[in-house]
Structure 1
Amino acid sequence: MRMPQQNSPFVSVLRREWGRMTSRRLYFGACIVLPLFCIFFMATIFGSGQMERIPIGIVDLDWSATSRDISRTVETVPTFAVTAHFSDQESARKATQQKKIYGYLVIPPNFESDVLAGRQATLSYYYHYALLSVGSEVRGAFETVLQPLSMGPIVSEATALGVSESTVTNFLVPVNVQSHPLYNPDLDYSVYLSHPFFFILFQVLILLVTVYALGSEIKFRTGDAWLESADGNIFTAVVAKLLPYTVIFIVMAIFANYVMFGVLHIPFSCGFWPLNLTAVLFVIATQALGVFIFSIFPAI
Structure 2
Amino acid sequence: MNDNKRHNAFYSVFRRELRRMVSRKLYFVVCVVLPLFCIFFMATIFGNGQMENIPVGIVDQDQTSMSREITRQIDAVPTFRVTRHYADAETARKAVQSKEIYGFLVIPDQFETDVTGGREAILSYYYHYALLSVGGEVRSAFESTLRTLSMAPIVLQAASIGVAKEDVTTFLLPIKSSNHPLFNPDLNYSVYLSQPFFYIFFQVIVLLVTVYVIGLEIKFRTGDEWLSIAKGNMLIAILGKLLPYTIIFSIMGVFANYILFGVINIPFSCGFWPLNLTTILFIIATQALAVFIFSLFPAISIIISIVSMVGSLGATLSGVTFPVASMFVPVYYTSFLFPVRHFVVICQNLLYGDYGFAYTWQNFSLLFVYVLLALLLLPHLKNAILSRKYENIE
TM-score (norm 1): 0.93
- 1:228 CA drift (Å): 2.2
Equivalent position of 1:253 in the other structure: 253
- 1:30 CA drift (Å): 0.9
- 1:218 CA drift (Å): 2.0
Equivalent position of 2:287 in the other structure: 287
Trace 1:1-300 onto structure 2 (pairs within 5 A): 8-299=8-299, 300=301
**Alignment partners' CA distance in 1, 2:89 and 2:219:** 58
Opposite residue 268 of structure 1, the aligned amino acid is F
Structure number having the greater helix percentage: 2
Opposite residue 123 of structure 1, the aligned amino acid is L
Q: Name the SS of the counterpart of 1:112 in structure 2.
A: helix
- 1:108 CA drift (Å): 1.2
- 1:95 CA drift (Å): 2.1
| 1:111-132 per-position Cα deviation (integer Å, ceiling 9, x unaligned) | 1221122211111111122222
**Alignment partners' CA distance in 2, 1:101 and 1:293:** 45
Structure 1: any 5+ residue segments left out of the alignment? none
**Alignment partners' CA distance in 1, 2:292 and 2:57:** 51
Moved more, 27-36 or 179-188: 179-188
Q: Name the SS of the counterpart of 2:14 in structure 1.
A: helix
| 1:211-264 per-position Cα deviation (integer Å, ceiling 9, x unaligned) | 111112222232222222222222111111111100000001111111111112
Q: Name the SS of the counterpart of 1:270 in structure 2.
A: coil
Q: Name the SS of the counterpart of 2:16 in structure 1.
A: helix
Structure 2: any 5+ residue segments left out of the alignment? 302-394
| 1:40-79 per-position Cα deviation (integer Å, ceiling 9, x unaligned) | 1111122222111112222222222211111111111111
Opposite residue 151 of structure 2, the aligned amino acid is M
Opposite residue 221 of structure 2, the aligned amino acid is R
**Alignment partners' CA distance in 2, 1:66 and 1:297:** 71
Opposite residue 58 of structure 2, the aligned amino acid is I
TM-score (norm 2): 0.72
Q: 1:171 to 1:202 in 2, by over 3 A?
A: same
Opposite residue 39 of structure 1, the aligned amino acid is I
Q: 1:49 to 1:238 in 2, by over 3 A?
A: same
State the structure with bigger RCO (CA 8 A, min sep 6), 1 or 2: 1
Identity %: 65
